Amino acid sequence: MTRSFIPSTLQIATFAVLLFMALPNLLILVISFNSAATLAFPPSGVSLKWYVNVFSTPSFAVGLRQSLLLAATSCVISMVLGVLASLAIVRFRFFGRQAASVFVMAPLFVPEIVMGIAMLLWANTVLFISNTTVLVVLHALIVLPYVVRLVVANLQGMDPNLESAAMLLGARPHQAFLHVTLPLLGKGLLGAAVFAIVMSFHNFTATMFLVGNRPTLPVAAYQYIRTENDPTVAALSTLMMLGGVLAVYLMEKWIGLERLVR
Amino acid sequence: MTYSLNLAKRGVVLTGLTVDLQGKRILDEVSLDIEAGEIVALLGPSGCGKTTMLRAIAGLQPTLKGEISVGGKTMSGVPPYRRNVGMVFQNYALFPHMTVADNVTFGLRMKKMPAARRDAVLTASLAMLELTNLRDAYPARLSGGQQQRVAIARTIATEPSVLLLDEPLSALDKKLREGMRAELRSLLKKVGITAIIVTHDQEEALAIADRIAVMDRGKIAQIGTGAELYHRPNSRFVADFIGYMNYFDGIAGKRANGLMDVAIGEDLSVKVPLADNILEGDRVMVGVRPEAIRVASEGRRAEQGTNAISARLVSTEFLGVVTYLRFRDVQGIERMVITSGQNEDAIGNGGPCQLQWPMQAGIVVRPERTPACQAGL
Amino acid sequence: MRQRLVPYLLVAPSLVLIAALLMGLSSVLGWSLDDGTGNGISLAQYESLATNASYRQFFTSSLWLAGVATAVALVFGFPAAYYMETKASPRQRKLIFAALLAMFLSDYVLKMFGLVLILGRTGLVNKLLLWLGVTDEPLRLMFNEFGVLVGLISGILPYMILSLNGVIARLDKRLQEAAALLGAAPWRVFLLITLPLCVPGILAGTMLSFLLSLNSFVTPMLLGGGRVDMIAVFIFDQSINLGNLPLGSAAAGILFLISAIAILALTVAGDRFHRRFQR
């Protein structure tokens, strides 16, 4: 079948849409190398100084540390909780199963701004709880539905006879899980973990209610944008984009992109 | 040290087993007595409950009522990993992330068998199923037949009391299936294990099993050897499930000399061997297997002990080994005769013929699908 | 006996976490019922939201903006999804998919920042227009509804496309071929066969995009400059900046209600569709 070089209207339209979506990121990329201290387009020269500046801005360093810690913690928590819950939902038939799976998805239905306020108020009602803990709870909540959805899909794709076979060969249920289910889920779990980390890392609106004086990276970036006018934040953004590309690459390797968006 | 697998044979007894699934009664008070070392096939159409029964014996399916005992010990409340029952799944369920060796030794590792002994058992099991050179292969690389052997080796290595097989040959292609039937039987006999096989393929059941339990809608319709089921089916269902049957509607008549008269048309009656649950005056159906019928020319008198009806040839189908002949009888019903070629002279011109069969070869059953009560154990 | 408890034990930890959320939400509800004195319960806050015109404006403005953004995203997202699933080569499709996924995983705040670079007075578009001589002065593309719309559309397009491509991929081409052979021109095939069959995806994508736009915070803040009224900004302003927790909570309550109803409606509609048309 010959491929004509003249793109069809559909192709042009698609390309236009994709360009529209990608343009902000592309522009940031370009501006980040600007030698002048303005955000004006076009850039006047090429320089890497803004990248250097990213690392010497204290709020970014703090932000990065906070974001990573938060992402790692909420990832671990949501993965453990999520895997256990997914096991229950997929492999067992029990009264309230349907309800449980809906409840676990609840955070998806709550607008971020509402969740921010809700958790702020919750923090006030629970005694002796530190700000960090509330943040962790918030992020675990936000990420949990995604983890459950992914792990459930993975479990459903697994042959249920494998666990039965293991049990008939003498493996107790937890042994069957350890030796058979977990290894087979392995890659899927890694992909879910990466997804969880990224979702947590980028969360802004809900997080903003609770950060106080130790902001996460997105919050720090936001504050910087509102006050300063140089391309430092563009450099930061480009670095984060690289991280995102890496994340996509890893997920493609570990789960295959199809599985993610059902 | 060479290790020889020692499988203690155990019998399996089911008493009044009842299972409900999602509101439907899948197994209805089923009782079954399987002797140690026996191979029994559960044969029936989809939905008859055979796989459910297998899973219940394995402990994978909770039961509502009834008892399962293996080797005299009851299995109530015993979870699957303590039943010492082996199962080969329809799709083999080999662990894809483990080599053949790891698959086969899985059960041994669960039992915490020391490595040296484990290795000896592994070698013996692989040798028995001719898998020795596939020891380090992964399941994805194996053919269907090889995967099946690995699945069997994996269960045998744990020396179970009973082996359950769920449609063991259905995943293989036709030619392979026919070859594997005899092999599977001889393997099971060599190992000497009690085996229960689920299948929907009557040929498979006939070839592999010692006895066959034909199941219908949660009950056992009839259990017996292949020959018993073929020649003396107790109901239409069983007769239809195994092989083809020509049926004549009729009314049961008098008995004499171990035979019963059945009137199948105006001035037409045949004699069939007695059946227990048929009384004079009952509406019945007489059944005759196509290969039991001989075609004779019209005037030929029926010999002693032979039934005869008139019919005209309608079509022939030459199939190599046999020929299918279709006739239309006096009542306009199609009758099928299977012959390996001996009747050519009588058939010739399409004129009226006689279809004859020995009286002893017929059966008489009630018109309903299955007997109201369960056949004997 | 113990066996029956297992699933409950597995689900329990997650439900405990969710309980925290529920507690928080009920606190919000509680605050929203405050009558202004801190002592009584009343619907005063909700009344105030309903009667005060400038408060109402936030809601109407949000609904309007969300509606427009969703419509535009649908109109432009559908062809993209259609191309991706029907005409693109496998490699192209994979690339597009990866690109869409990358947008999911990219930072929203920084994306809006990128739009500032495009729409600002010294940004890309204005520089381009000036250079081409189309205008004499830079256009006001930001800090107004236009800027916010662009931001919303940019944010929801990936979600819209990914909601649509599933149904499009599942379309049976033979149905379209059969229609053509029965005499239907391409546009009729599209209107009468293709589009109706895509309804579940369209519903899902529309609902998702609408809710995301409605609840948006960063976009009106960065691209609206505080001059464009959207609910999330109102809630933040009232609760945090002005300390008026009851009013903010009431607005949050209404927002939550709208979201919940919308999702419920979508689920019901989706079910109905399935039952009537799918096997």
Residue B345 pLDDT grade (very low, low, confident, very high; cuts 50, 70, 90) = low
Which ipTM score applies to this complex?
Answer: 0.83
Nearest CB neighbour to B58, from listed A168, A171, A183: A168
Whether the CB-CB separation of A85 and C18 falls below 8 Å is answered with: no
Which sign does the torsion angle of CA A91, A95, A98, A103 carry? Answer: negative
Average pLDDT over residues B38-63: 91
Name the DSSP letter for residue B311. Answer: E
Rounded Cα distance between B111 and B106, Å, is 9
What ranges in chain B are assigned the alpha helix state H?
A: 50-58, 100-110, 115-128, 144-156, 174-191, 202-208, 226-231, 236-241, 344-347
The structure tokens listed for B137 are 């292969």
Rounded Cα distance between B291 and B271, Å, is 18
Q: Cα B114 from chain centroid?
A: 41
CATH number for the segment(s) C53-278: 1.10.3720.10
Write out chain B residues lying below 8 Å of A159, CB-based: 91, 93
Among C31, C92, C58, C6, CA closest to C229: C58
Maximum mean pLDDT: which of A218-222, B161-165, C97-101? B161-165
Average pLDDT over residues C53-82: 93
User: Measured between CB atoms, does B79 come within 8 Å of chain A?
Assistant: yes
Give the three-state DSSP class for B75. Answer: coil
Distance between A100 CA and the closest CA of chain B, angstroms: 20
Count Cα neighbours of B139 within 13 Å in the Cβ-side half-sphere: 18
Mutate to test the interface with C, among A17, A39, A227 (most CBs of C within 10 A): A17
Distance between C259 CA and the closest CA of chain A, angstroms: 7
β-pairing, B39-43 vs B194-199, is parallel
Among A142, A126, A127, CA closest to A77: A142
The structure tokens listed for C221 are 């803040």
Whether the CB-CB separation of A204 and A219 falls below 8 Å is answered with: yes
Chains that touch C (3 or more CB pairs under 8 A): A
Determine the angle formed by the axes of helices C199-214 and C145-169, rounding to 10 degrees: 150
Whether the CB-CB separation of A153 and A259 falls below 8 Å is answered with: yes
Count Cα neighbours of B108 within 13 Å in the Cβ-side half-sphere: 24
Name the DSSP letter for residue B375. Answer: P
For residue A169, what is the nearest residue in chain B, using CA coordinates? Answer: B107
Give the three-state DSSP class for A223. Answer: helix
User: Which comes out higher in pLDDT, residue B224 or B173?
Assistant: B224
Rounded Cα distance between B64 and B19, Å, is 5
Query: What is the length of chain C?
Result: 279
Contacts of A176 (CB under 8 A, 6+ apart): A163, A166, A167
User: Measured between CB atoms, does B87 come within 8 Å of chain A?
Assistant: yes
Chains that touch B (3 or more CB pairs under 8 A): A
Rounded Cα distance between A200 and A193, Å, is 11
Whether the CB-CB separation of A32 and A51 falls below 8 Å is answered with: yes
For residue B111, what is the nearest residue in chain A, using CA coordinates? Answer: A170
User: Measured between CB atoms, does A184 come within 8 Å of chain B?
Assistant: yes
Whether the CB-CB separation of A49 and A230 falls below 8 Å is answered with: no
pLDDT tens for the 262 residues of chain A, in order? 445 567 788 888 899 999 999 888 888 888 888 877 777 767 777 888 888 888 888 888 888 888 999 999 999 999 999 999 999 999 888 888 888 988 998 898 899 999 999 998 898 888 788 888 899 999 999 999 999 998 998 888 888 899 999 999 999 988 998 999 988 888 888 888 988 998 899 899 889 888 877 888 888 888 888 888 778 888 888 888 888 888 888 877 776 655 554 4
Look up residue A69 and give its amino acid.
Answer: L
Residue B3: the pLDDT is: 67
CA angle at C201 for the pair C195 and C204, rounded to the nearest 5°: 135
Contacts of B20 (CB under 8 A, 6+ apart): B26, B64
Whether the CB-CB separation of C100 and C161 falls below 8 Å is answered with: yes
Residue A3: the pLDDT is: 53
Nearest CB neighbour to A162, from listed B79, B87, B93: B93
Average pLDDT over residues B237-266: 86
Distance between B196 CA and the closest CA of chain A, angstroms: 15
Q: Do A166 and B111 touch (CB under 8 A)?
A: no
Peptide bond into A42 cis (omega under 30): yes
Mutate to test the interface with B, among A163, A168, A172, A175 (most CBs of B within 10 A): A168
Burial class (CB in 10 A: 0-12, 13-18, 19+), B240: middle
Q: Do A111 and C14 touch (CB under 8 A)?
A: no
Q: Do C18 and A104 touch (CB under 8 A)?
A: yes
Task: Please name every residue paired with A124 in a beta bridge, in sequence order, or none if there are none.
Answer: none
Residue A81: the pLDDT is: 96
User: Measured between CB atoms, does B97 come within 8 Å of chain A?
Assistant: yes
Burial class (CB in 10 A: 0-12, 13-18, 19+), A27: buried
Residue B2: the pLDDT is: 59
Contacts of B80 (CB under 8 A, 6+ apart): A164, A167, A168, B58, B59, B60
Residue B1: the pLDDT is: 44
Rounded Cα distance between A188 and A152, Å, is 10
User: Measured between CB atoms, does C246 come within 8 Å of chain A?
Assistant: no
| Other residues' Cβ atoms within 10 Å of the Cβ of residue A52 | 11
Give the three-state DSSP class for C14. Answer: helix
Chains that touch A (3 or more CB pairs under 8 A): B, C
For residue A178, what is the nearest residue in chain B, using CA coordinates? Answer: B110
Average pLDDT over residues B346-366: 80
Task: Please name every residue paired with B364 in a beta bridge, in sequence order, or none if there are none.
Answer: B286
User: Mean pLDDT, chain C, as a whole number?
Assistant: 86
Whether the CB-CB separation of B44 and B50 falls below 8 Å is answered with: yes
Rounded Cα distance between B107 and B222, Å, is 36
Write out chain A residues lying below 8 Å of C95, CB-based: none
pLDDT digits (tens, 9 = 90+) for C138-163: 778 888 899 999 999 999 999 999 88
Domains and CATH numbers, chain A: 57-227 (1.10.3720.10)
Give the three-state DSSP class for A203. Answer: coil
Q: Do A24 and C28 touch (CB under 8 A)?
A: no
Q: Do B89 and A172 touch (CB under 8 A)?
A: no
The structure tokens listed for A8 are 């069809």
User: Measured between CB atoms, does A76 come within 8 Å of chain B?
Assistant: no
Percent of chain B with pLDDT over 70: 93
Distance between A222 CA and the closest CA of chain C, angstroms: 7
Q: Do C7 and A20 touch (CB under 8 A)?
A: no
pLDDT digits (tens, 9 = 90+) for C217-231: 999 988 888 788 899
| Other residues' Cβ atoms within 10 Å of the Cβ of residue C2 | 6
Residue B54: pLDDT above 90? yes
Average pLDDT over residues B307-336: 85
Whether the CB-CB separation of C214 and C258 falls below 8 Å is answered with: yes
Distance between A162 CA and the closest CA of chain B, angstroms: 5
Q: Cα C190 from chain centroid?
A: 26
User: Measured between CB atoms, does C55 come within 8 Å of chain A?
Assistant: no
Mutate to test the interface with B, among A167, A169, A175 (most CBs of B within 10 A): A169
Among B46, B55, B47, CA closest to B14: B55
Whether the CB-CB separation of A79 and A193 falls below 8 Å is answered with: yes
Q: Which of residues 100-129 of B touch A (CB under 8 A)?
A: 106-107, 110-111
Rounded Cα distance between A49 and A52, Å, is 5
Burial class (CB in 10 A: 0-12, 13-18, 19+), B238: buried
Residue A259: the pLDDT is: 52
pLDDT digits (tens, 9 = 90+) for B294-308: 888 777 777 888 888
Residue A257: the pLDDT is: 59
pLDDT digits (tens, 9 = 90+) for B205-241: 999 999 999 999 999 999 999 999 998 888 888 888 8
Contacts of A57 (CB under 8 A, 6+ apart): A224, A232
Burial class (CB in 10 A: 0-12, 13-18, 19+), A157: exposed
Among A30, A50, A53, A51, CA closest to A42: A30
Percent of chain C with pLDDT over 70: 97
For residue A119, what is the nearest residue in chain C, using CA coordinates? Answer: C24
Residue B42 pLDDT grade (very low, low, confident, very high; cuts 50, 70, 90) = very high
Rounded Cα distance between B201 and B172, Å, is 13
Look up residue B228 and give its amino acid.
Answer: E
Annotate C94-132 with three-state secondary structure.
HHHHHHHHHHHHCCHHHHHHHHHHHHCCCCHHHHHHHHH
Write out chain A residues lying below 8 Å of B85, CB-based: 168
| Other residues' Cβ atoms within 10 Å of the Cβ of residue C35 | 14
| Other residues' Cβ atoms within 10 Å of the Cβ of residue A99 | 11
Residue B100 pLDDT grade (very low, low, confident, very high; cuts 50, 70, 90) = very high
CA angle at B197 for the pair B191 and B203, rounded to the nearest 5°: 105
Residue located via tokens 């592309």: A26
Rounded Cα distance between B151 and B173, Å, is 17
Whether the CB-CB separation of B21 and B60 falls below 8 Å is answered with: no
Write out chain A residues lying below 8 Å of C111, CB-based: 24-25
Rounded Cα distance between C92 and C80, Å, is 12
Rounded CA Rg of chain A: 22
Domain boundaries, chain C: 53-278
Nearest CB neighbour to B95, from listed A162, A164, A170: A162
Distance between C51 CA and the closest CA of chain A, angstroms: 22
Residue A72: the pLDDT is: 95
Nearest CB neighbour to A24, from listed C10, C114, C127: C114
| Other residues' Cβ atoms within 10 Å of the Cβ of residue C206 | 21
The structure tokens listed for B53 are 């029964």
Nearest CB neighbour to A172, from listed B81, B83, B96: B81
CA angle at C247 for the pair C246 and C253, rounded to the nearest 5°: 90
Write out chain B residues lying below 8 Å of A180, CB-based: 95
Rounded Cα distance between A78 and A71, Å, is 10
